Amino acid sequence: MTRLQDIPWAEEIPFNGQLDKSHRRLQFPDRLNLYRVDWLRPLFKSRWPQFILRMLTLAGFVFTILAGLFGPQVGSHNFAIIFVWIAWWTALKLVFIPFGGRSWCSICPIPLAGDWLQQGGIMEPGQRRFGLNLRWPKRLRGSWMQSGAFLLIGLFSAVTLTNPQVTGWVLLAIFGLAVGMSLVFEKRAFCTSLCPIGGFSGMYAQTSPVELRIIEKDICAKHEVKSCYQACPWGLYPLAFRDSSACGLCMECLRACPSDNLALNLRPFSSDLGRQKTTSRLDETFLALVMLGSVVTFAAVFTGPWGWLKSAAFEIGSLPWVRYAFVYLALNLLLMPVIFIGAVWAGERFSVSWNSLKRAIATQAQVLLPLGLMSWIAFTVSFALPKLILILGVLNDPFGWGWSILGLNQSIQKVSISGPSMVLQVLLLMVGLFWSFSVARKLAATSAKKSQGTKLPIMAFSLVFTLLMLWLLVG
């Protein structure tokens, strides 16, 4: 990875000299470029603010692993369980993704060690670099493995989410995997192709109000070096971004561009959705369906009233668990895809070739994104909101050793918020439903066929799914 400093002949054109009337016109009229906001620009331009945030998450990550491995085995009083599965997960689902897209990736501690080894330094590239820098195998590209990783999580989630030691080991294993991959493959192989969090963060980032895009195409066309590509630790081409799913918002390209031609835009929600897809790759569709299948399963297992289901999910290796695993995998690998493909096919009026059906599937899959996002937010609200009070407890005594960092008495009383929480979940699911309807309508309007019937089976799919989620969470 080459930093701007390594390119001797590229110099940064000062901000004032750059901006003249023609450039102002060419910025997106309806989008606010945060990088050009006077008081925000220095925060993004300097690497130090981001570095400090990353140090906080890294220290927190190490502390969390220690708490998981050596702290109390009672989940509700263990810093690792509460901070990973309640605090961080809630922040991820309610703040980072809906409002920032893939913003967590910007400060995630997991790839840092690998990054530093790859470039031989922390703030500046070093002489000795480590790593074989192999290209990621072409056949493994795409988000298939991320879907697989998420399915793995789903199979073992009951134990991971409740056992502090398992959480500690899982985090350690993920860290080791990320470092290992950085030493073998180039760039952020783990983040791009394996990390399940990155997988769905990127997918749902298409609904978010933040994006990183070039401002003026011609400037990039005339630029031979493509410093943005040289600077990107993910190995992406910022000048070619069409949607926000791949970009981890690390801002290196923003800093590297000699023409200040990259923008961090605030934009309306759902801006990446509604376009016809020309791709025949179905990996994102599959991930969207896995997320839907998983939220339904988790809602049933974790917040449902079926004790036998919880036991089955918990007793890994037993026959009930095998049955649970079978049903979970069948739901995600078979049932959801078949129903969805059926709905798309019905919408296309039964008269398409497989190739154009693939394109139709990839296109219609966008309808699943707001549905999935809001369902996950609603599910997170249902299980995490009443437990937020536990965060105070573990901040007070993270290891259960009788500390009193915040000076609080032990046994903090739980606050009951069941009423407002239910209302919030219903609202969130309704937003998800109508948002997915609006994406479906937008797609129907821009489609070549111009037939209104295309969207009906998909909308029916969304409706049935929402009703199912309503029943599981609230009903």
Smallest distance, other proteins to C-beta of residue 48, A: 9
Span of 34-42, 75-83, 203-211, 305-313 interacting with other proteins by CB under 8 A: 75-83
Q: Is 406 in the site for other proteins (CB under 8 A)?
A: no
Smallest distance, other proteins to C-beta of residue 77, A: 2
Q: Is 165 in the site for other proteins (CB under 8 A)?
A: no
Q: Is 56 in the site for other proteins (CB under 8 A)?
A: yes
Judge contact between 454 and 348, C-beta under 8 A: yes
Retrieve residue 149's tokens.
């990783």
Judge contact between 396 and 403, C-beta under 8 A: yes
Among the listed residues 1, 67, 251, 433, the single contact to other proteins using CB under 8 A: 67
| 7-46 footprint of other proteins as x/- string (CB under 8 A) | ----------------------------------------
Order the strands of the 210-214 sheet from edge to edge: 32-33, 262-266, 210-214
Instruction: Give DSSP secondary structure letters for 358-417.
Output: HHHHHHHGGGHHHHHHHHHHHHHHHHHGGGTHHHHHHHH-TTSSS--TT-PPSSPPPPP-
Q: Is 126 in the site for other proteins (CB under 8 A)?
A: yes
Q: At what angle are helices 196-205 and 368-384 packed, to 10 degrees? A: 120
Among the listed residues 51, 237, 302, 434, the single contact to other proteins using CB under 8 A: 51
Given the complex with other proteins, which of 58 and 153 has the nearer CB atom? Answer: 58
Residues 362-401 that bind other proteins (CB under 8 A): 397-401
Residue 413: HSE in the Cβ half-sphere, 13 Å Cα cutoff:
3
Smallest distance, other proteins to C-beta of residue 161, A: 16
By CB under 8 A, the count of residues binding other proteins is: 32
Cα–Cα dist 361/278, whole Å? 11
Given the complex with other proteins, which of 6 and 124 has the nearer CB atom? Answer: 124
| Strand boundaries in 162-237, DSSP class E | 210-214
Backbone angles phi, psi at 239, to 5 degrees: -70, -15
Start-to-end C-alpha separation, the chain: 52
Smallest distance, other proteins to C-beta of residue 95, A: 23
Q: Which residues are near other proteins by CB under 8 A?
A: 51-52, 55-56, 58-60, 62-63, 66-67, 70, 72-74, 76-78, 121-124, 126, 397-403, 410-411
